[in-house]
Chain A
């Protein structure tokens, strides 16, 4: 008979805290939340294309009988910004935070200070984002335009979340005395840029600078968030994942720093290029647009550095997993950088202004480049966070190909449709003619976004299967000695 323990023989109960603080808890939670936002963003993307295909069918307005009545408006005007916000601030930002909190302790040798603060940042940021996107549909609750036009209290909560995330990162990084690895340079600057730009975008909510100046400020911050935060965090994640998985040293430290400083300078100039208004001196806008052109150089240098790092390990492309995602992400990033440079030319802008071109380039870069880069990170990080191995199934292949095909189909369909749309508008085409001609492009874009949503769902299923059925595994990292020998030997 089993002897029952007396109360004072029982081991002390582990105290559970409300806010998780275990190692890697922040990285894991941010990644799971990010995947949920990916599904939301893809769904909103399908709706965004749907409002172009069936503008009258998908226009819904109704009143909620609460107090004096809340009017809800679901149209293209409200769905487009919700889609971009869910994509950038939901999926990509949470995935980037996960990458930062996964990479930081592993490269510094110091435990994150602290996971609890980072998790509080997660709660604040995502609550603010959910509230902000919901309020986009409530008439009069918020402005409708580029990124980050949430009401002031929502922005305040989001800024608090960003402060918490920055705090957890910088408290860990600042005591480190040695020169940081290039990923940290990208992460650090892009985190500060996100906080600064997001706070800047809150100014019109406090003091209106005038309708035009408010719009200029929002355009500047939106562009800055894409060039600094999204591009920077994506490159930072790739700079960790590719050398780690290939077990090769980074091809060139000089190339990494040259690319970093180029990005630091030209990302800001590119944001200035969004200041397009008669009140802004023409030469200032031209300088900004030259910055967008010049941004091609540091992007290309970083991508070339990463691809050269894979030297001798190209066979990894034929195995499903991290490197496949990473290389696909690199390819999309390069194409997006080229299209952005071309799109900065005024002659191209005259043709594409107000068309689907801009959204198509955004879809290609964010759903293609950045999403696949963060898929690569998730593929590498999740088994190490959960201490389980991926299963060998078709779902991993499915995740890659649906994401790749979806981003390519949606992005290029919108870009092609945008060019045709611009051309027809310039010729004075009627709305019926426009809708008929663009029908095929928009249907293809909807199909592409559906594939992306399927890819996101596949990732969610993969994560679920990893957690519930994955076999336990302990992961080792290559020894420092072996890696140094590889550097010296070449």
Chain B
């Protein structure tokens, strides 16, 4: 092993260093002062979160592509009858029998509950018939991402 020798250090502190530190502090203080009130967006979920945390059809399609919805519901989300339902025309509520009761219990957000799949009332394997629970691992879609998908699906006629 190479022998021990300390690394000598010159004493003192350059004045410019103090000036720079004070300047950066001021910049930080100005930034903080101009961002005291507001609302944060929902957490995106880390590096593996799908793109498009904002809204819009592009964002929704990006999430849909990454989650793999088209693998079952078809490239145009028209479904593969009778196993995988058509995702068009859902404005009036669920179109399949196993979700009719869910639609009655959650008239405004039945799609959100169904896609997330983490609620005990919809996590039963027999009810889900292979539909993944996208709100849980490994997809971990956030409520905002699911909301983006739902808004897009409701636009499909």
Contact = CB atoms under 8 A, between A and B. Distances in A.
Interface of A: 23-24, 55, 59, 73, 75-78, 80-81, 84, 105-109, 139-140, 142-147, 181-182, 211-212, 215-216, 218-219, 222, 240, 243-244, 249-256, 258, 262, 275-278, 280, 282-283, 285-287, 289-291, 293-294, 296-297, 300-301, 304, 345-346, 350, 353-355, 358-359, 362, 384, 421, 424-426, 428-431, 434, 475-480, 483-484, 486-487, 490
A419 to B, nearest CB: 13
Contact of A278 (B42, B45, B49, B54): B42
A249 B45 CA distance: 45
B72 to A, nearest CB: 12
B120 interface: no
Nearest to A309: B10
A77 B7 contact: no
Given A287-B32, A301-B21, A425-B58, A256 B9 contact: yes
B35 A289 contact: yes
A244 B54 contact: no
A219 B43 CA distance: 9
Contact of B51 (A146, A256, A355, A426): A355
Contacts of B32: 283, 286-287, 290
B66 A76 contact: yes
A350 B18 CA distance: 33
Contact of A277 (B17, B40, B138): B40
A485 B53 CA distance: 59
A209 B73 CA distance: 34
Interface stretch (B22-30, B77-85, B94-102): B22-30
21 contacts: A76-B48, A77-B50, A78-B138, A145-B49, A211-B118, A253-B12, A256-B9, A258-B17, A258-B21, A276-B44, A278-B42, A282-B36, A290-B29, A290-B31, A294-B28, A304-B17, A353-B44, A431-B58, A431-B65, A487-B9, A487-B10
B135 interface: yes
Contacts, number: 235
Given A282-B38, A353-B41, A240 B7 contact: yes
B44 to A, nearest CB: 6
Nearest to A183: B7
Nearest to A48: B47
Main secondary structure, interface of B, reads loop
Given A249-B9, A254-B11, A276-B43, A80 B48 contact: yes
B10 A252 contact: yes
Most buried by A among B11, B20, B25, B40: B40
A244 B2 CA distance: 12
A485 to B, nearest CB: 9
Contacts of A77: 48, 50, 66, 138-139
A354 B55 CA distance: 12
Contact of A353 (B39, B54, B118): B54
B52 to A, nearest CB: 5
Given A143-B140, A252-B13, A278-B42, 17 more contacts: A77-B139, A106-B5, A108-B4, A146-B45, A146-B47, A249-B7, A252-B11, A282-B37, A286-B36, A290-B32, A294-B28, A301-B21, A359-B47, A384-B1, A421-B51, A425-B51, A431-B61
A300 B20 contact: yes
The 3 A-B residue pairs whose C-beta atoms are closest, nearest first, are A254-B13, A146-B46, A145-B46
A347 to B, nearest CB: 10
B156 to A, nearest CB: 15
A277 B11 CA distance: 45
Given A277-B40, A294-B24, A144 B48 contact: yes
B21 to A, nearest CB: 5
Nearest to B37: A282
Nearest to B11: A253
A266 B142 CA distance: 29
B68 interface: yes
B61 to A, nearest CB: 5
Nearest to A384: B2
B6 interface: yes
Contacts of B58: 424-425, 428-431, 434
Given A293-B28, A425-B51, A107 B140 contact: no
A479 B47 CA distance: 48
A212 B41 CA distance: 12
Nearest to B70: A56
B127 interface: no
A478 B5 contact: yes
Contact of A143 (B6, B44, B137): B137
B8 A106 contact: no
B14 interface: yes
B122 interface: no
Contacts of A480: 5-6, 8
Nearest to A276: B40
A251 B139 CA distance: 51
